[in-house]
Amino acid sequence: MAQHLSNVQEYKEFLDKFDVFLFDCDGVIWHGKNPIPQVKETLDLMRSMGKRLFFVSNNSTKSRQTYLKKITDLGIEANLNEIYPSAYSSAVYIKKVLKLPSDKKVFVFGEKGIEEELDEVGVAHIGGTDPSLNRNITSADMDTIRPDPSVGAVLCGMDTKLNYLKYCMAFQYIQDPNCAFLLTNQDSTFPTNGTFFPGSGAVSYPLIFSSGRTPKILGKPYGEMMDAIEAGVNFDRKRACFVGDRLNTDIQFAKNSGLGGSLLVLTGVNQLEHFQGKEDAIVPDYYIESLGHLAQAASL
Amino acid sequence: MAQHLSNVQEYKEFLDKFDVFLFDCDGVIWHGKNPIPQVKETLDLMRSMGKRLFFVSNNSTKSRQTYLKKITDLGIEANLNEIYPSAYSSAVYIKKVLKLPSDKKVFVFGEKGIEEELDEVGVAHIGGTDPSLNRNITSADMDTIRPDPSVGAVLCGMDTKLNYLKYCMAFQYIQDPNCAFLLTNQDSTFPTNGTFFPGSGAVSYPLIFSSGRTPKILGKPYGEMMDAIEAGVNFDRKRACFVGDRLNTDIQFAKNSGLGGSLLVLTGVNQLEHFQGKEDAIVPDYYIESLGHLAQAASL
């Protein structure tokens, strides 16, 4: 059963239980462009208590550098090796696990964050933000888009400039069973601007359904994300807590990774009715209305 | 077990078994812009034998009028009341079964064929080919796209000009449980230009996955398509045969509708290996390499 953190004493006891906190960002620290009230103060308090903090996001549109800027622009202290977006874990996977040969490239169905991380690890890529693909498909395209042995992987993340041309290219490439089919994450929706829109997992579904292939998923709740984090840092998982807004990614990730705790915040996707009294629900260890509330523990 | 039609005698016996033939079009009569050889001659032969012919397609991009022109441009005789594209069955469903109130409109995620059929039955619509939606989404859109009680249904078909803006609009409208969620069909791919690309069912998946809703499907193999056909014509189903290239739509449609026969042609999506020796496969009554082969029965 999930424990509700509802007063200053409980906030303090919760904070004392862990040395490391890992945070999802969208719906936890901010909504779109708006910071969630008092979250900065909570994170400042954690740092003052000597906690180690990591920012672990399934958002694939931002690279580590871009995430760092977004976080520090909100006045939150952070450094690059605390930041793990799925664009990063995906690039690490392609370089270190898939070991993509140097004569092969990745077709990116996604945005700049993925491209920047692939550049960082030295993997060639096409697609993505290529302006020549930002247009409607033509009949001539349908005559020429075919499998291409030089494309060793299709990596699919959120792309707000998606179009049928890019779907057709990605579809043809993954017709080749030697071409890996990768998703940065499988989130069905993402919270922004006070509502939800279709997420990265949703926009990848035309490729899953049309190809009949099962993609490898590189974000939360899967182990590849934890592998990417552990490549950079070491900590005692039993003294670490994941803080997120989504049961099937964040809270499941804490469980899959054997972390000591998981905290659901109610400022994002999931609410009490999504796990209370539900059979087979993913249940967090703790829940709180907002991460910002924990800042009140500073008064103790 | 499926019977292979492999010689002129078998072609003639097959033709004599049925009074009515219903045809899928893409992959059966043509590939994209190219007619399949001898199919015109087969259809001419059938007409000369007094058969009744119907063209039943899950393609939602063309209205009945546009389909008629495409068919007759290939030199094939046809008239409007022989033509049943899914854009038509969808418009009939919205008008006659859903009985959409006159103050409600349909948001079209799809092309001109759907709009023309909705106009034909007098149902108001937005979205579709509206040029103001043929662009990338903006941050301002994300602030303003919200559920709209004046949208009574979202109808999703193939849209080669799809974009994230249209996905977000459709997603927000179907957040309202009173807004119907309809698909013209659920084809995973469509055959064109000598290959396959993601089909109407595939491009609708971001909405299915992100909303968690189960849409009503109005094309083959579902009964709504047969209802639309039977609203216009009467025939003895036991003396009717469906001719198609896809097991899970065309052949399943023949079975769901209780037709006397089903013929799989191997010029499109499915091949022998998709049903021979496979448990749980959908098996046609007959199969033939091409619909064009039947024209040879004219020699008997």
| B131-140 average pLDDT score | 96
Strand-pairing partners, residue B85, are: B57
Chain centroid, CA B161 distance in Å: 19
Min CA distance, B68 vs chain A (Å)? 21
For an interface test with A, give the residue of B205, B246, B270 to mutate (most A CBs within 10 A).
B205
For B1-27, the pLDDT digits (tens) are: 899 999 999 999 999 999 999 999 989
Residue A277 contacts residue A248 (beta carbons within 8 Å): no
What number of H helices and E strands is found in chain A?
A: 10, 16
Q: What is the pLDDT of residue B232?
A: 78
In the numeric block, the tokens 């595939």 are attached to: B202
In the numeric block, the tokens 């707000």 are attached to: A160
For an interface test with A, give the residue of B129, B159, B160, B246 to mutate (most A CBs within 10 A).
B160
The DSSP bridge pattern shows strands B216-217 and B180-183 to be: parallel
For an interface test with A, give the residue of B111, B195, B204, B247 to mutate (most A CBs within 10 A).
B195
Q: What is the pLDDT of residue A300?
A: 82
Question: Which chain A residues are closer than 8 Å to B159 by Cβ?
Answer: 164
For A185-241, the pLDDT digits (tens) are: 999 998 787 889 999 999 999 999 999 999 999 999 998 899 888 887 899 999 999
- A143/B198 CB distance under 8 A: no
Confidence bin at B31 (pLDDT 50/70/90): confident
- B160/A160 CB distance under 8 A: no
Q: A105-217 adopts what CATH topology?
A: Rossmann fold (3.40.50)
- A202/B203 CB distance under 8 A: no
Q: What is the pLDDT of residue A70?
A: 94
| B291-300 average pLDDT score | 94
Q: What is the pLDDT of residue A263?
A: 98
Amino acid at A139: S
Instruction: Please enumerate, by residue number, every residue of A annotated as part of a binding site.
Output: 24, 26, 57-59, 220, 245
- Considering only the C-alpha atoms of chain B, give the largest distance between any 2 of them, rounded to a whole number of Å: 69
Amino acid at B125: H
CA distance A65 to A69: 6
- B195/A146 CB distance under 8 A: yes
In B217-234, which positions are buried (b, 16+ CB within 10 angstroms) versus exposed (e)?
bbbbbbebbbbbbeeeee
CA distance B165 to A197: 10
3-state helix, strand, coil in chain A (%, to 5): 40, 20, 40
Stretches in chain A below the pLDDT threshold 70? none
For B95-122, the pLDDT digits (tens) are: 988 999 999 999 999 999 999 999 999 9
Strand-pairing partners, residue B56, are: B84
Residue A189 contacts residue A274 (beta carbons within 8 Å): no
**CATH architecture of structural domain B103-217:** 3-Layer(aba) Sandwich (3.40)
DSSP string, A180-191: EEEES---SEEE
Query: Which residues are within 8 A (CB) of A208 and not within 5 positions of it... i.e. 6 or more apart?
Result: A214, A215, B205
Residue B242 contacts residue B284 (beta carbons within 8 Å): no
pLDDT at B271 over 90: yes
Let me know if the fold of A3-58+221-299 is the same as that of A105-217.
Answer: yes
The DSSP bridge pattern shows strands B30-31 and B34-35 to be: antiparallel
For B212-265, the pLDDT digits (tens) are: 999 999 999 998 899 888 887 899 999 999 999 999 999 999 999 999 999 999
Q: Which helix (H) or strand (E) holds A13?
A: helix A8-16
Could you tell me which residue, B277 or A170, shows the higher pLDDT? A170
Chain centroid, CA A11 distance in Å: 26
Phi, psi (degrees; rounded to nearest 5) at B177: -65, -15
Nearest CA in chain B to A189: B210
Which of B16, B19, B24, B227 is the catalytic position?
A: B24
Query: CATH homologous superfamily of domain B3-58+221-299?
Result: HAD superfamily/HAD-like (3.40.50.1000)
CA distance B224 to B183: 11
Amino acid at A176: D
State the virtual CA torsion across A267, A270, A274, A275 in degrees, nearest 10: -80
Distances (CA, A) of A222 to A186, A218, A257, B190: 10, 6, 8, 33
Q: Domain segments of chain A: what residues?
A: 3-58+221-299, 105-217
Q: In this predicted complex, what is the ipTM?
A: 0.90
Shortest CA distance to A186 belongs to which of A226, A160, A219, A212? A219
Under DSSP, the state recorded for A61 is S
Residue A250 contacts residue A244 (beta carbons within 8 Å): yes
pLDDT at B192 over 90: no
Q: Which of B195, B207, B209 sits opposite A201 (nearest CB)?
A: B209
Q: What is the pLDDT of residue A124?
A: 98
Q: Which of A146, A162, A192 sits opposite B163 (nearest CB)?
A: A162
Strand-pairing partners, residue A288, are: A265
B26 is catalytic: yes
